[in-house]
Amino acid sequence: MSEEFPGYRGNALKFLKNAGAEIGDVIRVTKDGENWEGILIPRSEIGDENHIILKLKSGYNVGVRIDSTAQVEKVGAGVKPTFTPPPLPKQKTSLPKVAIVSTGGTIASRVDYRTGGVRPALSASDLYSVVPELADIAVVDTEILFSVFSENITSKHWIETAKTVAKHIGNGVAGVVVAHGTDTLGYSAAALSFALQDLPVPVIMVASQRSADRPSSDAATNLVGAVKAAANAPFAEVVVAMHETTSDTSIVFHRGTKVRKCHTSRRDTFKSINSSPLARMEDDTISLLIKNYRKRDSARKLKLKPTFEKKVALVKFHPDLNPEIIDCYVEKGYRGIILEGTGLGHVGNYCLSAIQRAIEKDVIVGMTSQCIWGRLNMNVYDQGRDLLAVGVVSLDDMLPETAFVKLRWVLGQTTKTEEAKRLLTKNVANELSPRTLNE
């Protein structure tokens, strides 16, 4: 690896050196009659030694494999502006105080001004200086907690985030914004929903699908919406603030236990499942879409319960699922398994004995549906009744991902199986929706 070419080594490094290129230069790679042209960007971890990463004009990055048939040329010098952040705007001390806690992800990515590469390293105060209108909404206190792309977030991070949010609430802020990657945002939002009980003020999780260097970036709009809601929203719940549609006209606030990432790249990727979003912000106005919600009340005392059992698995059923995998988890000392079954809550009859063995060893087995939308009913067919009869817990309309997080949380609160099952099926943070008349 080389200091001038972070992340590059071997073959790729040799070609770059031979071409006399530097990070930030425009490079053309020709291979097999095709060519790629883009800005040479650094890699943040060492991968293989045969790829060069280019940022194309479209804003996307590609990795081009270099072999002996490849030609690498420098076709333009990098633009190397010096970036001086603007002076911090004067704080208007009469405004509500909002804490922004950054955990990483695209919304908290530093766009490297030299290379256009995306790195998970933007400080919360950088965010603040890049979006100066925040100064008109709130007095912002910022904290970089981690700098982690969200596929790498684990319960260790959930716990630290919950504690940090609680600390800021203890300091008397009007609300907390948590910046997070989109990939596992749904899981983390559920985790905070269970860990932060009786919230006095809102906790707004926010993300972006497109990094701030792309013209279609949703980072600034989402962040402004999140800070406004943290400062002023009438609700005191954990929500996810994201674009409602592909246009910039509205932000919706999804409840942390009902939200799911439903598209790999669209800006309106997050959807509330089996529920309406809690609220919408349009033209600076927040409209509530659900009648029953926890109202903001700064006198309410937050209960922090940030404990999650690690030995819980989410297992998606598929035809010919090997039931020995359930035994594997039991042998490894797992205490809970959430099944993502089919339809109204089924798995193949060839899995029944393994499930029964797990339950006999005191493992809690909960059922959800891979349909995603809708509600279980394990009483319609014999297969469902047989699963109930061996002790599988039907989780109604709970999202599989939320059920997984909840079972981890429940087993962090109690070691007693019956008490855990009771808590698992009790509505704690709006993870279960009431039946509507049309069902």
Least Å distance, CB 120 to a second copy, is 9
Half-sphere exposure of 295 (CA within 13 A, CB side): 3
Q: With respect to a second copy, which residue has the nearer C-beta, 112 or 141?
A: 112
In the set 183, 218, 396, 397, the catalytic residue is 183
C-beta atoms surrounding 115 within 10 Å: 22
In the set 97, 228, 261, 406, the catalytic residue is 261
Q: Where are the beta strands (DSSP E) in 273-342?
A: 279-282, 285-288, 303-304, 312-316, 336-341
Half-sphere exposure of 93 (CA within 13 A, CB side): 0
Q: Is 374 left (phi over 0), alpha (psi -120 to 50) or beta?
A: left
Q: With contact defined as beta carbons under 8 Å apart, do 214 and 111 qualify?
A: no
Among 103, 115, 182, 217, binds a second copy (CB under 8 A): 182
* 340 is a contact residue toward a second copy (CB under 8 A): yes
Binding to a second copy by CB under 8 A, coded x per residue (else -) over 128-167, reads ---------------------xxxxxxx--x---------
* 435 is a contact residue toward a second copy (CB under 8 A): no
Among 202, 277, 336, 341, binds a second copy (CB under 8 A): 341
In the set 164, 182, 184, 221, the catalytic residue is 182
Q: With respect to a second copy, which residue has the nearer C-beta, 7 or 200?
A: 7
Q: With contact defined as beta carbons under 8 Å apart, do 414 and 420 qualify?
A: yes
Binding to a second copy by CB under 8 A, coded x per residue (else -) over 34-53, reads ---------xxx-xx-xx-x
Q: With respect to a second copy, which residue has the nearer C-beta, 86 or 319?
A: 319
CA dihedral of residues 289, 291, 297, 301 (deg, nearest 10): -110
Q: What angle is formed at CA 145 by the lines to CA 142 and CA 146, rounded to 5 degrees?
A: 130
Active site residue 218: no
Which residues between 345 and 384 bind a second copy (CB under 8 A)? Answer: 345-350, 369-377, 379-383
Total number of residues that touch a second copy (CB under 8 A) = 83
Helix H or strand E segment including 403: helix 400-413
Q: With respect to a second copy, which residue has the nearer C-beta, 94 or 265?
A: 265
Q: With contact defined as beta carbons under 8 Å apart, do 248 and 161 qualify?
A: no
* 434 is a contact residue toward a second copy (CB under 8 A): no
The crossing angle, in degrees rounded to 10, of helices 400-413 and 185-195 is 40
Active site residue 106: yes
Which residues between 204 and 263 bind a second copy (CB under 8 A)? Answer: 261-263
Active site residue 261: yes
Among 80, 92, 361, 385, binds a second copy (CB under 8 A): 385
* Residue 429 DSSP symbol: S
Which residues between 79 and 118 bind a second copy (CB under 8 A)? Answer: 118
Among 80, 295, 303, 310, binds a second copy (CB under 8 A): 310
* 10 is a contact residue toward a second copy (CB under 8 A): no
Least Å distance, CB 293 to a second copy, is 26
* 433 is a contact residue toward a second copy (CB under 8 A): no
* 78 is a contact residue toward a second copy (CB under 8 A): no
Helix H or strand E segment including 170: helix 155-170
* 337 is a contact residue toward a second copy (CB under 8 A): no
Residue 313 backbone phi and psi in degrees, to 5: -125, 155
Least Å distance, CB 265 to a second copy, is 5
Least Å distance, CB 11 to a second copy, is 12
- Distance (Å, whole) CA 43 – CA 108: 18
Stretch that binds a second copy, among 55-63, 70-78, 81-89, 247-255 (CB under 8 A): 55-63
Q: With respect to a second copy, which residue has the nearer C-beta, 47 or 96?
A: 47
Q: With respect to a second copy, which residue has the nearer C-beta, 37 or 135?
A: 37
- Distance (Å, whole) CA 214 – CA 111: 10
Q: Which of 325, 323, 332, 379 is CA-nearest to residue 352?
A: 323
The crossing angle, in degrees rounded to 10, of helices 352-360 and 324-331 is 20
Q: With contact defined as beta carbons under 8 Å apart, do 55 and 38 qualify?
A: yes
Least Å distance, CB 33 to a second copy, is 20
Residue 102's DSSP bridge partners are: 144, 179
Stretch that binds a second copy, among 24-32, 95-103, 193-201, 318-326 (CB under 8 A): 318-326
- Distance (Å, whole) CA 368 – CA 390: 16
Record the tokens describing residue 137, joined without a space.
């909404």
Q: With respect to a second copy, which residue has the nearer C-beta, 63 or 89?
A: 63
Residue 330's DSSP bridge partners are: none
Least Å distance, CB 50 to a second copy, is 8
Active site residue 182: yes
Q: Any idea which residues carry the catalytic annotation? A: 106, 182-183, 261
